[in-house]
Structure 1
Amino acid sequence: MKRARSRPVAKAAPVSDPRRERLIRLAAPLFLKKGYDNVSIDDVIGVAGGSKATIYAWFGGKQGLFEAVVQQKCDDVTLAIDIDAGGTLDEQLTKIGRSFVTTVLTAPILEFHRLMVSIGRTFPEAGRLFFQSGPASAYLIVARWIERQQKEGLIIKEDPYRLAVLFLDMLIGEHQLGWLTGMPHAAQKAKLEETVRVAVRVFLGGCRTQRSTRP
């Protein structure tokens, strides 16, 4: 991925600006379908409207727009993780697992993941943004839930971030690799509920304290 020699400084734009959000949403499929290098500002204008002046004002150019797409795609996943559900420890963790896999294992997110892996070496800044805004943020969200349970004496005192990594990675490893390498989606979806159930049982089997099992 080639970087421009000089990049205009993007002016701050309200995150909630619907025009800006719409432009990012419409630009995302272009990057997913054609790759970063094969998308031009004119291509984006062709599907989203607006002008080059607007894109440069909001994002500083194509690279800034792509970084906004990365951030938005990652937010779509992390905001979907439900850590505030009530119920037993098993029920809460099951809801967390379901909310995570049903978002991260969708075709658009999987294609986005494929794109980020393919350009990570040539565009390390975007790769770092993807990891910090996506996987690392998801781990932190679940780690906060684990930390709350640890304070209640329900989960063992281990590094909550490391525990979150182990749990989320149990959920998606097989399915993500299967989809990215061409396994039929129907076959993968049929196994998701079983994967969540087993992951919750295995995780709590190793991390639940004796206090959490009391009536």
Structure 2
Amino acid sequence: MIEAQRTRSEQKRQQIVAAASSLFMQHGYLSTSMDEVAQQAGVSKQTVYAHFGSKDDLFTYCIESKCVVATRIPDTLEGQDPQQVLTEFMRAFSEMIHSEEALYVYRLCVTQAESHPELSRRYFEAGPLRVQRVLADYLAKLQRSGKLSLPDPMLAAEQLLLMGRGMRHLACELGLPCEESQRKSEQRLSSAITLFLSGYGYQG
């Protein structure tokens, strides 16, 4: 009975997140109300607030959930070749940041930065900063095992992520043509990772 209740509660939670993500994309964060989220999710407004205390909390969770799924490093990869692990991580990172949804949220935060700085702060902490920490944790493990020589894992993570973004991401942010073939994307990421590992004295 308790397990069934938990399952139903989780299903409603996922319905709410899916509805909110869709509405944020269609109408923008500021124009989306919790009433609309509840209606599209097929739940009561009270249920929405029971899972998420505010629209800010819901927005933050939507960003966090996508970052966690897209850029987590599974335990099954921990013992594998760092170049392969980083390649898979950076591939997922690149796909995420160049998605239509991610670009929309970024532009939304930029346009609202002066009037709603809290929105930008939540986005930065739930998205870019979370991804940086995930990568830094993995790099710190490589440092402790003697495979890399880096004094500051967070700085190293920042450097690799910025190389992974490249000029393509700037073009995408500006709304310019930024399509890239899979072959070119793989070459760009592979070059960045090779340069990164070499610079930090990778010992295979």
3-state SS of 1:50 partner? coil
Alignment of 1:95-106 (within 5 A): 95-106=88-99
> Displaced runs of 4+ in structure 1, greater than 6 A?
none
**What percentage of residue pairs aligned between the two structures are identical?**
28
Deviation at 1:184, TM superposition (A): 3.1
Question: Is 2:64 aligned against 1:74?
Answer: yes
The equivalent of 2:151 in structure 1 is 158
CA-to-aligned-CA distance 1:94-129 (integer Å, 9 cap, x gap): 122112212222111221222222223322333222
**TM-score under structure 1 normalisation?**
0.78
Cα RMSD (Å): 2.5
Higher deviation after alignment, 20-29 or 136-145 = 20-29
**Structure 1: how far apart are the matches of 2:15 and 2:163?**
34
Q: Which residue of 2 aligns with 1:109?
A: 102
- After superposition, where does 1:1-215 map in structure 2 within 5 Å? 17-60=10-53, 64-83=54-73, 84=75, 85=77, 86-187=79-180, 191-209=184-202, 212-213=203-204
- Alignment CA distance shift 1:126-1:133 (3 Å): same
How far apart in 1 are the matches of 2:69 and 2:139?
Answer: 17
AA paired with 2:13? Answer: R
Supply the distance in 2 between the matched residues of 1:183 and 1:190 (Cα, whole angstroms): 20
What stretches of structure 1 of length at least 5 have no aligned partner?
1-12
The one-letter code matched in structure 2 to 1:118 is T
Preserved CA contact (<8 Å) 1:45 1:51: yes
Compute the displacement of 1:165 (Å): 0.5
Task: Quote how far apart the aligned CAs of 1:164 are.
Answer: 0.3
- Asked whether the equivalents of residues 25 and 69 of structure 1 are also in contact (C-alpha less than 8 Å), the reply is no
CA distance in 2, matches of 1:66, 1:188: 36
Bigger helix share? 2
Q: What is the DSSP-based 3-state SS (H/G/I as helix, E as strand, rest coil) of the residue aligned with 2:92?
A: helix
Aligned length: 195
Structure 2 stretches lacking a partner, 5+ long:
1-5
Amino acid at match of 2:66: D
2:3 aligns to what? none
> In the TM superposition, what whole-angstrom CA distance separates every residue of 1:67-110 from its partner, at most 9, and x where no partner exists?
31332223212332243424323222212211221222211122
Taking structure 2 as the reference length, what is the TM-score of the superposition? 0.82
| Partner AA of 1:163 in structure 2 | A
Deviation (angstroms), 1:25: 1.4
Deviation at 1:205, TM superposition (A): 1.7
Measure, in 1, the Cα distance between the counterparts of 2:80 and 2:155.
Answer: 24
